[in-house]
Amino acid sequence: MELPLRPEIVQSLKAGDEVLLNGYVYTARDQTHLRLIKDIGKKKLPFDLHGQTIYYTGPTPAPRGKKIGSCGPTTSGRMDAFTPALLKAGIKGMIGKGRRSEEVRQAIKRHKAVYFLAIAGAGAYLSKKIAEAKPVLYKDLGAEAVYRLKVRDFPVVVGIDSKGRSIYK
């Protein structure tokens, strides 16, 4: 499945579907979300959030000869408070692990977006599915900087679909 996700593709996905993602995603976690929320609409960002997919992760530094280190998902629930605003700003996909709040589920439905689950705790395994990694924003945050990652056959499961159906009861 190609990234950025086309609207008709997003809307065809159902909670529980297993998908392989190909293309670019942007990493963002706690402090990054805090900054993005402040900067959206005020500062010019080096990339357009519209239609993009965000991956909740903070990778380990790339060892010599590698594109990236370990790069698995972090707990999505910590980003819940910021997610409705980011969806409003145009993001269409999120990749993380674990449950989301009711507000986030509603916002996903409202904006016809999608929440994917990646294999939790499989950072080394998932690093093999990343072909490129480049820090593009908030580089001072170290592991929390925004990286642009090129993913190749990156395995995910649809956690919450565009109709608001969740894989977790």
Partner 1 sequence: MRKINAEKIREAVARLAIEANLILRKDVLRALKRAYSKERSRRAKKVLKALVENAAIASSEGIPICQDTGIATVFLDIGQDVAITGGDLNKAVNKGIAEGYKRGFLRKSVVSDPLSRVNTRDNTPAVIHTKIVPGGKIKITVAPKGFGSENKSVTGMFKPTDGADKIGRFILEAVKKAGPDACPPYIVGVGIGGTLDKACILAKEALLRPIDKRNPRHHIAGLERALLKKINGLNIGPMGLGGRATCLGLNIEVYPTHIAGLPVCVSISCHATRSAAVTL
3-state helix, strand, coil in the chain (%, to 5): 25, 30, 45
Does residue 135 have a cis bond before it (omega within 30 degrees)? no
Among 97, 137, 158, 160, interactor with partner 1 by CB under 8 A: 97
- x-marked contacts with partner 1 along 108-147 as a string, rule CB under 8 A: ---------x-xxxxxxx-xx------------xxx----
Does residue 33 have an active-site annotation?
yes
Binding window for partner 1 (CB under 8 A); candidates: 3-11, 42-50, 80-88, 97-105 = 97-105
Q: Which of 29, 33, 99, 105 is catalytic?
A: 33
Between 71 and 94, CB nearer to partner 1: 71
Task: Find the binding residues for partner 1 in span 14-33 (CB under 8 A).
Answer: 31
- Does an H or E element contain 156, and which? strand 146-160
User: What is d(CA 15, CA 36) in angstroms, rounded to the nearest whole number?
Assistant: 28
Between 111 and 156, CB nearer to partner 1: 156
DSSP state of 7: H
User: What is d(CA 128, CA 130) in angstroms, rounded to the nearest whole number?
Assistant: 6
Residues annotated as part of the active site: 33
